[in-house]
Amino acid sequence: MIATLPVLTADEIAQRDAAVTGGRCAPHLWPFWPLSQVDRGLWRGLVDDENIARFSVYGLFPETYRVVYGGGDAAVRYDGRSRGRVAIITGQRDGSPVSIVIKPCQSPAEAEIAAIAGELGAGPRQFPSISGFISEEFVEGRFLTDLKPAEATRDRMGSIGRTLGAALCSLHVAGVCYNDATISDQDGRSHVILTSEGSIRLIDFGVALLLRDHPAGLTFHDAYNAARTDPMFRLFRQMAGGGDPQSLGDFISEYGRRLARQTAEEIQERDWRIAQEGLSAIAARLGPVAVEAMRDGLADGRASAAPPGP
């Protein structure tokens, strides 16, 4: 089972923080502090556990537990930009090397959307997780934006475009709008990983939208995520008063009403717009031939994977 976000009250968070700052709880034991009040034996076991000191809560996920406590050599490294700490645990499981990513959910729907993408092969395979976190396979490969110009041949870029187009179509049929930079954003960051098998995977579904029950299922958080990738939102935030909480809330509420008047298919069109923006972002570095080939491939992938009309 992949669960949704946990709910910690401000008081529960403050109690944990106070225990750490007061020296009663080591920082890596922050998530476990309540156990010190209800089960001293279990708490003492956690305090004395070297794996807890190394891996904290990340070693106790269903998929990582066997790796960390299975007797082999396991390691953890941390990464992450806007979503918070992301743990990547590597080791052996059943005699085979494995790498598992643990990261906090960015939205209430992210775990469900990531599971859909994993089942479709458009995103990483998902594992059973702890509430509030995603546990998934680490996708070996390179980001699309790491390609060198000499590697961006017409055939290769066309193939990448077709595969990406088909992946987006499969998500759309499942009621998902990726709603984020795929090929590249303006800072040169991509969410497309080129796998060692020659395919692609999309990673990070933190601002993706689940539209299977649209518009009835539209939430304020959905409207906020949708607005974040709209140029109008960036203009609003730059305006005087754009950072005021009340003004922001009013903007998102109005944006949500506009979304509710659109069909799911109309909202999903933004994925193709964002992809075209990504092509423009890589044009200067990879050149017009590579961009044209990928644009053609994207269109081919969309056409071949689109569901038949009535």
- The residue among 198, 202, 184 whose CA lies nearest residue 277 is 184
Contact 215, 260 (CB under 8 A): yes
pLDDT reported for residue 308: 61
Distance CA 272, CA 54 (A): 43
Cα 51 from Cα 244, distance rounded (Å): 44
Q: How far apart are CA 116 and CA 203, in angstroms?
A: 12
Domain boundaries, the chain: 10-137, 141-305
| DSSP secondary structure letters along 89-156 | EEEEETTEEEEEEEEE-SSTTHHHHHHHHHHHTSSPPEE---TTEEEEE---EEEGGG--GGG--HHH
**Among 84, 109, 105, 62, which Cα is nearest to 220's?**
109
Number of H helices and number of E strands within the chain? 12, 10
Question: Which tokens belong to 13?
Answer: 């968070």
Q: What pLDDT does residue 129 have?
A: 93
Integer CA distances (angstroms), 24 to 31, 48, 62, 168, 298, in order? 13, 14, 28, 49, 56
Question: Which helix (DSSP H) or strand (DSSP E) does residue 192 occupy?
Answer: strand 192-195
Q: Give residue 72's pLDDT.
A: 80
Provide the pLDDT for residue 1: 39
End-to-end CA distance of the chain: 36
**Per-residue model confidence as pLDDT tens for the chain (310 residues):** 344 445 778 999 999 999 999 999 999 899 889 999 999 999 999 999 999 999 988 999 999 999 999 878 899 999 866 566 899 999 998 889 999 999 999 999 999 999 999 999 999 999 999 888 999 999 999 999 999 999 999 999 999 999 999 999 999 999 999 999 999 988 889 999 999 888 999 999 999 999 999 999 999 999 999 999 888 888 887 876 667 888 889 999 999 999 999 999 999 999 999 999 999 999 999 999 999 999 999 999 999 876 665 5
Residue tagged 């009535």 (tokens): 310
Give the pTM.
Answer: 0.88
Give me the pLDDT at residue 2, please: 42
SS3 content of the chain, % helix, strand, coil (to 5): 50, 15, 35
Cβ neighbourhood burial of 304 (10 Å; 0-12, 13-18, 19+): exposed
Question: Are the C-beta atoms of 136 and 99 separated by less than 8 Å?
Answer: no
pLDDT of residue 4: 46
